[in-house]
Structure 1
Amino acid sequence: MDPAPARPGISSGAVFTDELGRILLVHPVYKAGWNLPGGRVDEGETPHAACVREVHEELGLTVEVSPEPMVTAWVTPADGPPHLYFSFEGGKLTAQQQAAIRLQDTELSDWRFFPLETEDPAIIPPRLQGLWEALRTACSTSRPTYREIAL
């Protein structure tokens, strides 16, 4: 009998753009690279509710986020349990919303908009390249994307 599979971690994030179509990323203080604003889904919480909560906690913004995920990705690292990622469309942030961003300074040191063409590993670390590519696909086709990514 095969052992039971490890329970996946679950994370949820929001995709916000600016007037040029660039994607908002945040810089965590506890790991290399940049991420979408978001984080872990708590027990008993839906991925959408987690996304709204995390955006409020990390950016200080209360915004509408689409209830349908843009990207859903099952990521299987070589050295750990799988992880399920959900990315939800947050829309274009106005200049007023951008000015209202207040980072959760215990977790984040910076925020910035990056073009979808960004491939710099200092910005998009190798562990997130597959997710970033899925996001590119979803943005360019305006269709939800599902990926299974083995690292």
Structure 2
Amino acid sequence: MAVHEHEQHASARLTAGALFTDPAGRPLLVKPGYKHGWEIPGGYVDAGESPLAACRRELVEELGRDLPVNGQPLVVDWAPLAPEGDKLLFIFDGGTLSDEDVRSFVFADGEIEETRFVEAADLEEYVPKRLADRLRLALAARQEDRCVYAEHAVEPH
């Protein structure tokens, strides 16, 4: 059986999320109501949508706010996952949130139940190791004012 050229090319699923921190530098996590565990605000990129546009759309859907997000990604991570196939994950910089910003979140559809700022050292208590590692890369990339390319949340050398 002949393989069509388009079947040889990757067709990765894309996700886009935002790193927000409090003034102490702790990342913001969200608790989805539809699954176990915590995440960063964000989600899957729809067909025809850019990762940045998806990130901004997801923030409105999840937090009820059109929050500013820097267009330069902090992390681009090639992270295939067995049941889901090829995945490319983007983390954009949402900057620092005030208490007032957090109080203004609106969880209109119940998708998100709670938000919490978490110490970077405690991330594995909330999220899978791969996301904790990716968030630490994002925090470092923000400090260094650069974008990190990673594979499975590890920067290749």
Q: With the length of structure 2 as denominator, give the TM-score of the two structures.
A: 0.82
CA deviation map 1:7-36 (0-9, x unaligned): 211010111111111111101223332111
Which letter does structure 1 place at the counterpart of 2:145?
S
Q: Does the 8 A contact of 1:12 with 1:40 survive in 2?
A: yes
Match of 2:140 in 1: 137
What residue ranges of structure 1 are gaps of 5+ in the alignment? none
CA distance in 1, matches of 2:128, 2:54: 23
Measured after TM superposition, the shift of residue 140 of structure 1 is 4.2
Question: Which residue, 35, 49, 56 being the options, matches 2:53?
Answer: 49
Following TM superposition, the consecutive aligned residue runs of length 4 or more in structure 1 with deviations greater than 4 angstroms are none
CA distance in 2, matches of 1:12, 1:87: 6
CA distance in 2, matches of 1:63, 1:14: 10
Number of residues of Structure 1 aligned to a counterpart in Structure 2: 149
Task: Give the number of the structure whose residues are more often strand, by fraction.
Answer: 1
Match of 2:120 in 1: 116
**Structure with greater Cα Rg:** 2
CA distance in 2, matches of 1:78, 1:57: 28
**SS state of the match for residue 118, structure 1?**
helix
Q: Does the 8 A contact of 2:33 with 2:112 survive in 1?
A: yes
**SS state of the match for residue 121, structure 2?**
coil
Aligned positions of 1:1-150 closer than 5 A: 4=8, 7-120=11-124, 122-149=125-152
Specify whether residues 19 and 126 from structure 1 end up closer, same or farther in structure 2 by C-alpha distance, changes over 3 A only. closer
Q: With the length of structure 1 as denominator, give the TM-score of the two structures.
A: 0.85
CA distance in 1, matches of 2:84, 2:67: 34
Measured after TM superposition, the shift of residue 99 of structure 1 is 1.0
Task: Give the number of the structure whose residues are more often helix, by fraction.
Answer: 2
Measured after TM superposition, the shift of residue 118 of structure 1 is 2.0
CA RMSD of aligned residues (A): 2.2
Specify whether residues 126 and 57 from structure 1 end up closer, same or farther in structure 2 by C-alpha distance, changes over 3 A only. same
Which letter does structure 2 place at the counterpart of 1:88?
F
Measured after TM superposition, the shift of residue 137 of structure 1 is 3.1
Measured after TM superposition, the shift of residue 92 of structure 1 is 0.9
Which letter does structure 2 place at the counterpart of 1:137?
A
Q: Does the 8 A contact of 2:26 with 2:117 survive in 1?
A: yes
Q: Does the 8 A contact of 1:74 with 1:85 survive in 2?
A: yes
Measured after TM superposition, the shift of residue 5 of structure 1 is 5.2
CA distance in 1, matches of 2:61, 2:36: 20
